[in-house]
Amino acid sequence: MTTKNALSVGFLLFPQLTQLDLTGPYEVFARAPDMTVHLIWKNREPVLSDSNLAIVPTTTFAECPPIDIICVPGGPGQVDLMEDQETLAFLKRVASTAKLVTSVCTGSLILGAAGLLKGYRATSHWSSIDQLSLLGAEPVHERVVWDRNRVTGAGVTSGIDFALTVVADLYGSDIAQGIQLALEYDPKPPFKTGSPAEAPEALVEAARSAMVAPLARRRAVTERAAKGVL
Protein backbone atom coordinates (compact mmCIF):
# COMPACT_ATOMS: atom_id res chain seq x y z
CA MET A 1 0.00 0.00 0.00
CA THR A 2 2.89 2.36 -0.78
CA THR A 3 1.76 5.98 -0.92
CA LYS A 4 3.24 9.33 -1.90
CA ASN A 5 0.42 11.34 -0.37
CA ALA A 6 0.69 13.30 2.87
CA LEU A 7 -0.63 11.27 5.80
CA SER A 8 -1.48 11.90 9.42
CA VAL A 9 -1.25 9.78 12.55
CA GLY A 10 -3.00 10.50 15.83
CA PHE A 11 -1.80 9.13 19.17
CA LEU A 12 -4.32 8.89 21.98
CA LEU A 13 -2.99 10.49 25.15
CA PHE A 14 -4.38 9.64 28.58
CA PRO A 15 -3.28 9.88 32.21
CA GLN A 16 -0.97 7.08 33.38
CA LEU A 17 -0.05 5.84 29.92
CA THR A 18 3.36 4.21 29.47
CA GLN A 19 5.22 6.91 27.59
CA LEU A 20 7.45 4.57 25.57
CA ASP A 21 4.34 2.94 24.11
CA LEU A 22 3.77 6.31 22.49
CA THR A 23 7.17 7.95 22.14
CA GLY A 24 8.82 4.94 20.47
CA PRO A 25 6.47 4.85 17.47
CA TYR A 26 6.09 8.64 17.59
CA GLU A 27 9.80 9.01 16.82
CA VAL A 28 9.44 6.72 13.80
CA PHE A 29 6.31 8.31 12.37
CA ALA A 30 7.64 11.83 12.93
CA ARG A 31 10.52 11.01 10.56
CA ALA A 32 8.30 9.65 7.77
CA PRO A 33 7.92 11.90 4.70
CA ASP A 34 5.01 14.35 4.88
CA MET A 35 3.60 12.68 8.00
CA THR A 36 1.71 14.91 10.42
CA VAL A 37 1.60 13.62 14.01
CA HIS A 38 -1.16 14.57 16.44
CA LEU A 39 -1.31 14.00 20.20
CA ILE A 40 -4.97 13.76 21.17
CA TRP A 41 -6.78 14.07 24.49
CA LYS A 42 -9.99 15.55 25.89
CA ASN A 43 -8.30 18.89 26.57
CA ARG A 44 -4.93 20.57 26.02
CA GLU A 45 -3.64 20.26 29.57
CA PRO A 46 -0.37 18.33 30.00
CA VAL A 47 -0.93 14.60 30.53
CA LEU A 48 1.24 12.73 33.05
CA SER A 49 2.55 9.31 32.14
CA ASP A 50 2.93 6.46 34.64
CA SER A 51 6.52 7.65 35.17
CA ASN A 52 5.44 11.30 35.63
CA LEU A 53 6.62 12.49 32.23
CA ALA A 54 4.34 15.32 31.09
CA ILE A 55 3.19 15.18 27.47
CA VAL A 56 1.26 18.07 25.96
CA PRO A 57 -1.68 17.32 23.62
CA THR A 58 -1.68 19.06 20.25
CA THR A 59 -5.41 18.68 19.67
CA THR A 60 -8.58 17.54 21.42
CA PHE A 61 -11.35 15.04 20.74
CA ALA A 62 -13.59 17.88 19.58
CA GLU A 63 -10.97 19.60 17.42
CA CYS A 64 -9.16 16.58 15.98
CA PRO A 65 -8.94 16.74 12.19
CA PRO A 66 -9.49 13.62 10.04
CA ILE A 67 -6.56 11.26 10.55
CA ASP A 68 -5.27 8.34 8.51
CA ILE A 69 -3.84 6.30 11.40
CA ILE A 70 -5.11 6.17 14.97
CA CYS A 71 -2.74 4.65 17.52
CA VAL A 72 -3.62 3.76 21.10
CA PRO A 73 -0.79 3.15 23.58
CA GLY A 74 -1.14 1.22 26.82
CA GLY A 75 -0.19 1.64 30.45
CA PRO A 76 -1.90 1.51 33.85
CA GLY A 77 -4.36 4.23 32.86
CA GLN A 78 -5.67 1.96 30.12
CA VAL A 79 -7.94 0.22 32.62
CA ASP A 80 -10.02 3.33 33.32
CA LEU A 81 -10.31 4.14 29.61
CA MET A 82 -12.02 0.82 28.93
CA GLU A 83 -15.09 2.23 30.67
CA ASP A 84 -14.67 5.83 29.55
CA GLN A 85 -17.55 6.27 27.13
CA GLU A 86 -16.29 9.61 25.80
CA THR A 87 -12.97 8.08 24.81
CA LEU A 88 -14.52 4.93 23.35
CA ALA A 89 -16.96 7.01 21.30
CA PHE A 90 -14.09 9.11 19.97
CA LEU A 91 -12.16 6.00 18.93
CA LYS A 92 -15.19 4.53 17.17
CA ARG A 93 -15.70 7.78 15.27
CA VAL A 94 -12.08 8.10 14.19
CA ALA A 95 -11.75 4.41 13.34
CA SER A 96 -14.74 4.59 11.00
CA THR A 97 -12.72 6.67 8.52
CA ALA A 98 -9.09 5.87 9.38
CA LYS A 99 -6.96 3.84 6.98
CA LEU A 100 -5.31 2.00 9.89
CA VAL A 101 -6.52 1.36 13.44
CA THR A 102 -3.55 0.51 15.63
CA SER A 103 -2.26 0.04 19.16
CA VAL A 104 0.80 -0.73 21.24
CA CYS A 105 0.88 -2.92 24.35
CA THR A 106 -2.40 -2.94 26.34
CA GLY A 107 -3.75 -0.22 24.08
CA SER A 108 -5.24 -3.14 22.15
CA LEU A 109 -7.58 -3.77 25.09
CA ILE A 110 -8.90 -0.21 24.73
CA LEU A 111 -9.55 -0.88 21.03
CA GLY A 112 -11.25 -4.10 22.06
CA ALA A 113 -13.45 -2.31 24.58
CA ALA A 114 -14.53 0.03 21.78
CA GLY A 115 -15.57 -3.02 19.76
CA LEU A 116 -12.84 -2.42 17.20
CA LEU A 117 -11.04 -5.78 17.41
CA LYS A 118 -13.97 -8.17 17.28
CA GLY A 119 -13.08 -10.88 14.76
CA TYR A 120 -9.51 -9.59 14.31
CA ARG A 121 -6.16 -11.17 15.14
CA ALA A 122 -4.29 -8.98 17.63
CA THR A 123 -1.54 -8.88 20.21
CA SER A 124 -0.80 -7.11 23.49
CA HIS A 125 1.63 -7.17 26.41
CA TRP A 126 2.48 -10.74 27.43
CA SER A 127 0.84 -10.32 30.82
CA SER A 128 -2.57 -9.45 29.37
CA ILE A 129 -2.73 -10.89 25.85
CA ASP A 130 -5.16 -13.60 26.99
CA GLN A 131 -7.74 -10.92 27.80
CA LEU A 132 -8.12 -10.08 24.11
CA SER A 133 -10.27 -13.17 23.61
CA LEU A 134 -12.80 -11.77 26.09
CA LEU A 135 -13.32 -8.88 23.67
CA GLY A 136 -13.82 -11.04 20.60
CA ALA A 137 -10.27 -10.82 19.25
CA GLU A 138 -7.94 -13.72 18.45
CA PRO A 139 -4.77 -13.39 20.58
CA VAL A 140 -1.55 -13.88 18.64
CA HIS A 141 1.84 -14.09 20.37
CA GLU A 142 3.82 -12.08 17.84
CA ARG A 143 5.75 -8.82 17.99
CA VAL A 144 3.54 -7.12 15.39
CA VAL A 145 0.19 -8.45 14.18
CA TRP A 146 -1.45 -7.10 11.01
CA ASP A 147 -5.01 -8.16 10.19
CA ARG A 148 -6.71 -6.20 7.42
CA ASN A 149 -6.53 -2.57 8.61
CA ARG A 150 -5.81 -3.42 12.26
CA VAL A 151 -2.17 -3.35 13.36
CA THR A 152 -1.21 -4.14 16.93
CA GLY A 153 2.17 -4.20 18.65
CA ALA A 154 3.05 -6.32 21.67
CA GLY A 155 4.59 -4.85 24.84
CA VAL A 156 6.15 -1.38 25.10
CA THR A 157 9.35 -1.55 23.01
CA SER A 158 7.54 -3.37 20.19
CA GLY A 159 6.04 0.02 19.33
CA ILE A 160 9.20 0.82 17.36
CA ASP A 161 8.91 -2.42 15.36
CA PHE A 162 5.21 -1.73 14.82
CA ALA A 163 5.84 1.77 13.48
CA LEU A 164 8.66 0.67 11.18
CA THR A 165 6.39 -2.07 9.82
CA VAL A 166 3.65 0.46 9.07
CA VAL A 167 6.07 2.96 7.49
CA ALA A 168 7.49 0.20 5.28
CA ASP A 169 3.98 -0.62 4.06
CA LEU A 170 3.02 3.01 3.46
CA TYR A 171 6.27 4.38 2.04
CA GLY A 172 8.34 1.36 1.08
CA SER A 173 11.06 -0.54 2.87
CA ASP A 174 13.83 1.88 1.82
CA ILE A 175 12.21 4.71 3.78
CA ALA A 176 11.62 2.49 6.81
CA GLN A 177 15.18 1.19 6.72
CA GLY A 178 16.51 4.74 6.49
CA ILE A 179 14.54 5.73 9.59
CA GLN A 180 15.80 2.65 11.44
CA LEU A 181 19.36 3.59 10.55
CA ALA A 182 18.88 7.22 11.58
CA LEU A 183 17.56 6.05 14.95
CA GLU A 184 20.41 3.50 15.22
CA TYR A 185 17.75 0.98 16.17
CA ASP A 186 20.03 -2.01 16.49
CA PRO A 187 18.92 -3.66 19.73
CA LYS A 188 21.39 -5.87 21.51
CA PRO A 189 19.93 -6.15 25.01
CA PRO A 190 22.32 -7.09 27.81
CA PHE A 191 20.03 -9.90 28.97
CA LYS A 192 17.83 -12.51 27.26
CA THR A 193 14.91 -11.75 29.56
CA GLY A 194 12.69 -9.58 27.37
CA SER A 195 10.11 -12.30 26.85
CA PRO A 196 8.54 -14.95 29.11
CA ALA A 197 9.66 -17.47 26.50
CA GLU A 198 13.31 -16.66 27.19
CA ALA A 199 13.41 -15.33 30.76
CA PRO A 200 14.11 -17.73 33.64
CA GLU A 201 10.92 -19.16 35.09
CA ALA A 202 11.63 -17.70 38.52
CA LEU A 203 11.93 -14.21 37.04
CA VAL A 204 8.67 -14.61 35.13
CA GLU A 205 6.84 -15.81 38.23
CA ALA A 206 8.22 -12.90 40.26
CA ALA A 207 7.00 -10.48 37.61
CA ARG A 208 3.55 -12.10 37.57
CA SER A 209 3.37 -11.99 41.37
CA ALA A 210 4.16 -8.28 41.36
CA MET A 211 1.31 -7.70 38.91
CA VAL A 212 -1.39 -9.80 40.58
CA ALA A 213 -3.50 -6.90 41.85
CA PRO A 214 -3.37 -4.69 38.73
CA LEU A 215 -3.95 -7.68 36.45
CA ALA A 216 -6.97 -8.74 38.48
CA ARG A 217 -8.44 -5.25 38.18
CA ARG A 218 -7.68 -5.15 34.44
CA ARG A 219 -9.38 -8.49 33.93
CA ALA A 220 -12.46 -7.44 35.92
CA VAL A 221 -12.83 -4.30 33.81
CA THR A 222 -12.21 -6.27 30.61
CA GLU A 223 -14.95 -8.70 31.55
CA ARG A 224 -17.36 -5.84 32.13
CA ALA A 225 -16.38 -4.22 28.85
CA ALA A 226 -16.89 -7.52 27.03
CA LYS A 227 -20.58 -7.47 27.93
CA GLY A 228 -21.02 -4.40 25.79
CA VAL A 229 -18.91 -5.71 22.93
CA LEU A 230 -20.01 -9.32 22.38
pLDDT for 112 equals 98
Tell me if 73 is assigned to some domain.
yes
Question: What mean pLDDT is reported for the chain?
Answer: 97
Tell me if 1 is assigned to some domain.
no
Tell me what the mean pLDDT of segment 88-96 comes to: 98
Nearest to 7 by CA among 71, 55, 62: 71
Tell me if 2 is assigned to some domain.
no
Marked catalytic residue, from 105, 116, 145, 167: 105
Tell me if 72 is assigned to some domain.
yes
Per-residue buried b or exposed e for 201-216, using 16+ beta carbons within 10 Å of the residue's own CB: eeebeeeeeeeeeeee
Does residue 1 surpass a pLDDT of 80?
A: no
pLDDT for 3 equals 66
CA 23 – CA 17 distance, rounded (Å): 11
Question: Is the full-model pTM beyond 0.75?
Answer: yes
- Confidence band of 5 (pLDDT split at 50, 70, 90): confident
Query: 64 catalytic, yes or no?
Result: no
pLDDT for 131 equals 98
What confidence tens digit (pLDDT) does each residue in 96-142 have? 999 999 999 999 999 999 999 999 999 999 999 999 999 999 999 99
| Domains identified in the chain, total number | 1
What confidence tens digit (pLDDT) does each residue in 15-42 have? 999 999 999 999 999 999 999 999 999 9
CA 159 – CA 148 distance, rounded (Å): 19
Tell me if 130 is assigned to some domain.
yes
Tell me if 126 is assigned to some domain.
yes
What confidence tens digit (pLDDT) does each residue in 153-183 have? 999 999 999 999 999 999 999 999 999 999 9
- Confidence band of 4 (pLDDT split at 50, 70, 90): low
- Confidence band of 230 (pLDDT split at 50, 70, 90): confident
What confidence tens digit (pLDDT) does each residue in 173-210 have? 999 999 999 999 999 999 999 999 999 999 999 999 99
Instruction: Give the domain extent around 138.
Output: 7-229
Tell me if 205 is assigned to some domain.
yes
pLDDT for 159 equals 98
Tell me if 223 is assigned to some domain.
yes
**Looking at residue 106, which CATH number applies to its domain?**
3.40.50.880
